[in-house]
Structure 1
């Protein structure tokens, strides 16, 4: 069925694209020098409608042009090129197959353009029918950092101290880069975001109510990070350099545009280093006697990352383009830690020491990823498009740890090799069926292969080697419909069907076990309705259903035993989450003030959450943390954010968020009997940012974020604060800038506490984060850009996979 739908879409493209077999040709010349005008833009209009072009093209190196596939009738051509007056042809009557216009002369403008300076800027926050857009390219305080720093400032999002992202209190999201997924995102969103330099982020789109065109995965929504691109004629090279007390970075991004052919080349490297410190306390809840564990650890973290890309695009014509690219990502994290463990027995209120140990623990996580894409786009006419997109993505995300006791004891090692491959084929067709109606139809196939091999060594002996082989194939088709009325109503409805087939097996101690995971199909509806009143107020109502399939960190059965008393692993037999989302929003723009107020509620079945239980088969006091479909969760909340233009050079924006979360499921008690549990609580967040433009190219920006305590399935996590102050001075030639940034500069370290209270034990874990940072940044632009500088061309679309749940760092505990 999936293959048949793809074939129908291909045939539909060729049928809709053909309008006739006539052709208009000619050559465009400079009226003064009589030399050819290269790469000028042509727009073709069908008489009598001279407002909307129906086709277009560009002149070649000799000034020649052709417009093919035309039906008989009357047309007008408009010629434009930088430095020339606009030229509009007389009415051209096409009554035969070949119409040759001969030489067309275009006159140079009286004032040649030497330099254009754009003084306007986009609003910090923009709102569209199904998403919120945060314009990040004016961010000063994130210079020299990564995308994590940008996302902390985006309304509706929260990012914890490890870089794990939540949307409206949930990590069930999908993160895309330029509308494309990557296998590294399937491994860890937090690690992937560290590979994206903040200097290269243009906008962040938060899609809370995705239409049927988007994958059904991402239970709460989709985050799409748009990086900066250059579509101008000519060449450019951007250099970004930064250094500070906690790390340094170097980035080079170049582009070359020659007529119809364009190249981009980018590279970014960054290194970070930080001390770390942890404290842990655990007490069992056995009635008469209880086992107590106390742990203390000091360590050093070193992290290095890089991302390199090559892109090529070619304009077949003004309406057709093809683009391709390759991207490589590198990531390496090393942690060395001195871990002290005290074990005690509490009897009748008295703590009796049992043993203590001192361990040298080393964790290493190297990661290499590759993405290759090839995309084709045909803009048949305004809003009528056909596209084909392909993507192959692969990632080797390995991890290892060693645990060496001081004094007598046996060394323990673990090596885990993970390979994640993904191939995607997607086709989309969009067409207006009237002036106020639009349909979207498409199909998609995703083919994933996950292989995880792991082995443990006790001294020189191998213990419990194994692997996970997990193959997932998804076929999808969708239909969307948009209807707009004269009185400012917009209705956007659609349906998407996804069929998922999974084949998986595990190998432990030479025994293969095939996992019985049945195939399943889901029909996913979506509804978005908006109404604008008096061009000032907009009201939106939305409903959608979403799926969240477990990601690699949820599935991987390899055990992390770097801490012998706190073991963690994944669960390859998890079921996907299914959520129903409801939202209502009011937004308004009144003079210098813009604000948005929204309320939402989300119901989730088969909610995936980390669960901690006693692991008695490994010894007294040992716990196991893994992922389970705990039952149901419900989140309801409000968001209020706004932007105020105090003066033409001073802006203030911020917002507050409040969520109430409820988790309901089953967990074992001290006797191993499964009992119902319920965890609930509020989470409050707030952010504020102010930016001021001063004289002589100076800018100053301040940012603050406060996150309150938040509930989890078995306890709570403490709140924390993050703040930053940045200064930037632009060079007189407008080609570069130098900046100074400071983050969390008032205190040396930050305390972060998580508490768990289960039927079997209580835990308290304290992490001390040394987040005080100072860094200097330098940016400089080299190059010369020319024609069509302010008319970026729409490129071939890319693949969007937004279906895997990210585990953050919940599976890695120490």
Structure 2
């Protein structure tokens, strides 16, 4: 009977919002099994699990007494998951029963015999705590409420040392990588950290993919940013690695999240001030490829907390590339070869100001302003030879200056009110704006004399603006059920203006008549509502079902007054997540969700970027959203000191947004033999794969973690045939990757770490993206009283850099692009903390806006193909 009710509950959850709650009340009338939870908590009868408690006899006396509560971290206030709760007999001082806390920190012990007991709470990284003794009589029902578990703190003068968390942790709905445990990433940026996270892949250009798909959304402290919408790779370089606390990978998001794309969400959580007093942190580094300086101060007194920070990073790197391609267009076959070198000189900065204030005991207000800047300058030398029927037709020499500049502002104001544990209401607002400049200036030179023969210039200015308002409410129902619902409105505005200028040998620039100026004005308004329902059974099943409805309205014009007929669309996206706790700490999870993904700014922007005339890129303002059905099953367990996780996943994407390459038409002003990379909605994309990773402690001071992942991808779409007509093509392939990291704690404050990563070739609709690898070695010495540290790290130090070879094939073109990045690096890092810090009780943080519906600039066909600009157009890490 209960199985039938659960099945009905799941069915209703997909399609009928509040009907779930009505069904829960009508059918259950309270939690089956009578397992009460804490006040407003989310308790469950976790069962006895006697096998997990030494000394618990199988003949434990039975009764009808009950006790329940919720374990929370005494500092952060977050639930303490999977902690051990032992029921101790006061007279014998031996455990007679026990359980573990669930994902919400809740625990329940039922069927207790009369007697005098106490509870003992224990978990790694926390002090073992004993409750006061209490008496269980016939029918006793004790509700402990929230039980605070203090961290394992040892005070050495003014320095606070807490118990170490594992480098990789698994939560019920996400994987957590504790980045502050990673020493070799210090002095780097967020892309350096993401390389180390299981299931993620970061290529040489900084493009991020999850399980083989670049169709992801990157959030910063659960907040979006317009600079991320424009370019994930560039946004990551504005976030210093030293300020990242954790990276959360959510592969099966619930209905509460925006209906983001195929793979999932990456949430970067930065270090927050949980201390009392005045502090100043200094982070500095110097290396062969980059130098950085960061200053972060904080002040907290009473109800008010203020933070102020600044970070700057200057980079410098050399690269080279070779390009060999053949195109067939209009019955003519042209082969071109190109050799290039480049010198990259990017500068990134970030400045933040934030405050939070407790309006009352159960109300808080927070506000933040973030300003980011990017100044990416690249100098290129391009020598290009063009052949027809294997006869040399021309040689061109170009000296190119590329400038990709941006500035972004994010401002948010958030309010939250807590009525009781698990019951709260929040309202969040955010304004985000990014200005982008993507220009290049090229001198065309005589290959023999070096004299100027002509000039080209492309001016492209873009703005991306978002205003967001959202409200969320959650409340517990009958102790073991949780209801969440909310609404959201996003008003998005994209504006792009571009023009081409050319000149002869005189050097005087004028508008290029074959490539006239243009513009794109793109308005997108989104209204969304969701409902999510969670139900925990006494047998440790957790069901989370929900649905989200989104309506998108679009108004777009090209060249100021030419309307683009892009229809409005509405989508209903359901989600189901089920987990089951098994014996021995093993957890089995399964999930299904459907997602929608809208095109991003760079995919829409119609500007023709011909910084390299052989590899031209432009967006497509007529792109439609893509829809993905996503399913996965995972199993995690702990065997002695080793944590293992294995998962199998599948994706089916219709109308997938991907990169498509076609030959350039000389009649439209493109160079002979050129290839244009644009974006289209291809027909279908299917992916199945698996992830396996582990984390083990070889000794108390030596840890090892790593994993393998692989996927098979099939793609089918259309491209241009040799006769100029549309032709159906398909491609498929397997990609395998892996990583391995080891950390060693030595005496006298010394520690060491080694890291390695590889990614095999990845299939694309029209070819294969090349393989690549990375590795690093680092040592660190803590200074006196652990107020700071000094470290030395080396990256890709053997050999002569990293090479990636990419091949493209279709009926009209072939291309072999080899990028060589001279990215060997040696860096020294230094950190120091000034100020006295003491822990204070948990401060309730406001929720914040989280827009995760826009697709990044990657192609979604195997991890995002980097542009084939010579000299690695690649951006150094």
Q: What's the TM-score bracket when you normalise by the shorter of the two chains? A: 0.7 to 0.9
Are 2:797 and 1:758 equivalent residues in the alignment?
no
How far does residue 233 in structure 1 lie from its aligned partner after superposition?
1.3
Pairing partner for 2:295 from 252, 269, 274? 252
Q: SS of the residue aligned with 2:411?
A: strand
- Coordinate RMSD, CA, aligned: 2.2
Q: SS of the residue aligned with 2:656?
A: strand
Which stretch of structure 1 is more off in the superposition, 399-408 or 282-291?
Answer: 282-291
Residue by residue over 1:380-423, the C-alpha shift from the partner in whole angstroms, topping out at 9 and shown as x without a partner, is 11111110100000000111001211135321101111011100
Give runs of aligned pairs for residues 108-147 of structure 1, distance below 5 A: 115=158, 117-147=160-190
Are 2:613 and 1:574 equivalent residues in the alignment?
no
Pairing partner for 2:760 from 708, 712, 718? 708
Query: Hey, which of these two has a bigger chunk of strand by percent?
Result: 1
Are 2:647 and 1:604 equivalent residues in the alignment?
no
Distance 1:481 1:249 in 2: 46
Give runs of aligned pairs for residues 201-350 of structure 1, distance below 5 A: 201-285=244-328, 290-346=333-389
Distance 1:169 1:223 in 2: 14
Alpha carbons of structure 1 residues 404 and 536: separation in structure 2 relative to 1, 3 Å: same
Q: SS of the residue aligned with 1:517?
A: coil
Distance 2:717 2:730 in 1: 7
Residue by residue over 1:410-440, the C-alpha shift from the partner in whole angstroms, topping out at 9 and shown as x without a partner, is 2110111101110000100010012110000
Alpha carbons of structure 1 residues 764 and 113: separation in structure 2 relative to 1, 3 Å: closer
Structure 2 residue aligned with 1:397: 436
Q: SS of the residue aligned with 1:411?
A: strand
Alpha carbons of structure 1 residues 320 and 736: separation in structure 2 relative to 1, 3 Å: same
- Stretches of structure 1 that go unaligned for 5 or more consecutive residues are 6-47, 57-85, 89-110
Are 2:786 and 1:742 equivalent residues in the alignment?
no
Give runs of aligned pairs for residues 253-652 of structure 1, distance below 5 A: 253-285=296-328, 290-346=333-389, 351-406=390-445, 407=451, 409-459=453-503, 460-463=509-512, 464-507=516-559, 512-616=561-665, 617=667, 618=670, 620-652=672-704
Q: 8 Å contact 2:443–2:452 — kept in the other structure?
A: no
The normalised TM-score by structure 1 is 0.84
Alpha carbons of structure 1 residues 196 and 462: separation in structure 2 relative to 1, 3 Å: same
Are 2:850 and 1:800 equivalent residues in the alignment?
yes
Q: SS of the residue aligned with 2:629?
A: strand
Residue by residue over 1:720-739, the C-alpha shift from the partner in whole angstroms, topping out at 9 and shown as x without a partner, is 11000010000121100000
Q: SS of the residue aligned with 1:148?
A: helix
Which stretch of structure 1 is more off in the superposition, 452-461 or 602-611?
Answer: 452-461
Residue by residue over 1:439-471, the C-alpha shift from the partner in whole angstroms, topping out at 9 and shown as x without a partner, is 001000011011111111112212311111001
Distance 1:251 1:178 in 2: 19
Distance 2:732 2:681 in 1: 17
Alpha carbons of structure 1 residues 619 and 260: separation in structure 2 relative to 1, 3 Å: closer
Distance 1:299 1:316 in 2: 55
Q: 8 Å contact 1:553–1:811 — kept in the other structure?
A: no
Q: 8 Å contact 1:338–1:358 — kept in the other structure?
A: yes
How far does residue 535 in structure 1 lie from its aligned partner after superposition?
4.3
Distance 1:781 1:411 in 2: 52
- Stretches of structure 2 that go unaligned for 5 or more consecutive residues are 1-16, 18-65, 75-129, 133-153, 446-450, 504-508, 859-863, 870-877
Q: 8 Å contact 1:532–1:538 — kept in the other structure?
A: yes
Structure 1 residue aligned with 2:749: 697
Are 2:715 and 1:663 equivalent residues in the alignment?
yes
How far does residue 565 in structure 1 lie from its aligned partner after superposition?
3.0
Alpha carbons of structure 1 residues 119 and 313: separation in structure 2 relative to 1, 3 Å: closer
The normalised TM-score by structure 2 is 0.78
Alpha carbons of structure 1 residues 286 and 322: separation in structure 2 relative to 1, 3 Å: closer
Alpha carbons of structure 1 residues 49 and 484: separation in structure 2 relative to 1, 3 Å: closer
Are 2:221 and 1:178 equivalent residues in the alignment?
yes
Q: SS of the residue aligned with 2:698?
A: strand
How far does residue 786 in structure 1 lie from its aligned partner after superposition?
2.4
Residue by residue over 1:780-802, the C-alpha shift from the partner in whole angstroms, topping out at 9 and shown as x without a partner, is 011112242xx442300110000
Q: 8 Å contact 1:129–1:528 — kept in the other structure?
A: no
Q: 8 Å contact 2:218–2:224 — kept in the other structure?
A: yes
Alpha carbons of structure 1 residues 703 and 112: separation in structure 2 relative to 1, 3 Å: closer
Q: 8 Å contact 2:159–2:786 — kept in the other structure?
A: no
